[in-house]
Structure 1
């Protein structure tokens, strides 16, 4: 063997237990989440639904979904849910983007004071009764504003948006100021276009929150014509007020109602997934 020869040594790969355990844990968590959902889906298609677990329906039927979709009394609540979700998401994004942009203005007097006051509200809450009294004094009871405003002012989402704005390079702001761009011009022309991931992820959280809202409708609204889809659907299922022309099991209709309630966002989520994956890391990396 010559002196210039190279001896190649193979390194044995060390077996690491952590990736294996980590994978098993996530498999168990996924099963714990998916199995109940799968049971509800199967029960919604089974005319003889039971409390036991089944992989496939024993007697397939569309009766549960037909009973809900053909119920005219659910059309108005569905429209109200859509209006509240769209208006609330728009207003929530408007407030958190403007609030987050204000909090990154380092030269603004009292910036730290306002930031700490907002964080204070995340720890200490006024409570249900004071909120109800405020809504009553503002004459907002039995209006859609009583369910839109409380959820639109979300300090947690505002802090997330502020953290994302802080990750935008300072050089962009300075270059825009040199070019004569106003603060609001910087906001609309630079900040918002660079914040698509944050807007999509936080907007999705707002939308899910408004769509699934039950508590605020129950507290602030007692007019039947202003109930949202979840309230009306729940009342009909509990009171057995949904026509059952196909003679399906009541549990089938209940399961179908759950799927109908979550279906809109099950359809929307895949289109927002790429932005949502980016948005979950909002403010996680600083340069």
Structure 2
């Protein structure tokens, strides 16, 4: 029997429509301004003087396209590194017969509540000679206990009979991981991989703390300089400063606006599976 909609359901629809408008309108304004070659501030439905010169200025100027490539590199390498650490760590945590498994799990959970702090962490990175290298901005976000716990919860949802069957067939623990666990974890890998990728792409803090070499700055660092007006790239093709600034903002958010719709079903499934135990 079909459930009848209540006043509460209609209220939720109205609230979500309002929230969507609040989020979409600023993005739409920035998009229109990035395509408008006329210097005019205010809300417009369509560009008064359409042109792609703002985007050409972004991608043809070394001030921005080099940081863009740095962001692409660190996002790809960091996401792969983070997924490798999270999956291997989660697989170890579901080995119930492993001595000290509970101790290791508690130690990692302890780091989610307490940490050494910003200054001790910086001193450790400096002692290891990782400052002013891309390695530090790749490794720091990669070691994420929260993502490891999510992956462990997903692995625990895999039936034990599959592990037992693989062991009877003579499969090694690593073979089980590669041939059984990973193929069944596409949803979790996509969800957690997307979270890693967004974290790396939007990373600003680690670059601010550990990188002083301008040549190693990512797109977010340069984007801040552009918005503040201290490092604005040369506008070409009739583009104004306002056009270039807005084009840079769209370039920063566009990749994941394109990727997310294709990953949405995996994202929802990957986060929810393993969250509820029977």
Alignment TM class, shorter chain as reference? over 0.9
Alpha carbons of structure 1 residues 69 and 76: separation in structure 2 relative to 1, 3 Å: closer
Relative to structure 1, is the Cα distance of residues 16 and 232 closer, same or farther in structure 2, using a 3 angstrom cutoff? closer
Q: Distance in 2 between matches of 1:222 and 1:14?
A: 60
Is 1:221 paired with 2:250?
A: no
Other structure's SS at 1:280 match:
helix
1:236 deviation in Å?
Answer: 4.2
Residues 100 and 159 of structure 1 are in contact (CA less than 8 Å); yes or no, is this contact kept in structure 2?
Answer: yes
Q: Which residue is equivalent to 1:74?
A: 64
CA distance in 2, matches of 1:275, 1:21: 29
Match of residue 102 from structure 2: 112
Indicate which of 241, 252, 266 corresponds to 1:261: 252
Q: Does 1:244 align with 2:235?
A: yes
The offset of 1:32, in angstroms, is 1.3
Q: Equivalent residue of 1:55, what SS?
A: coil
Shift of 1:240: 4.7
- Equivalences for residues 1-287 of structure 1 within 5 A: 16-237=6-227, 238-287=229-278
Over residues 88-123 of structure 1, what are the superposed CA-to-partner deviations in whole Å (9 max), with x where a residue is unaligned? 111100000011111111122222222122112112
C-alpha separation in 1, matches of 2:168 and 2:160? 13
Q: What's the TM-score once normalised by structure 1's chain length?
A: 0.90
Closer/same/farther in 2, CA of residues 175 and 61 from structure 1, 3 Å limit = same
The one-character-per-residue Cα deviations of 1:231-251 (angstroms, maximum 9, x if unpaired) are 234334522531123444322
Structure 1 window deviating more from structure 2 (51-60 vs 81-90): it is 51-60
Indicate the larger mover: 184-193 or 80-89. Answer: 80-89
Structure 1 segments unaligned to the other structure (5+ residues): 1-10
Higher deviation after alignment, 48-57 or 28-37: 48-57
Partner of 1:5: none
CA radius of gyration, larger in: 1
Q: Report the Cα offset of residue 198 of structure 1.
A: 0.5
**Cα root mean square deviation, aligned:** 2.0
Equivalent-residue separation in structure 1 for 2:2 and 2:96 (angstroms): 54
The Cα shift of 1:14 comes to 5.4
Cα deviation, residue 162, structure 1: 0.4
Which sections of structure 2, spanning at least 5 residues, go unmatched? none
Aligned pair count reads 277
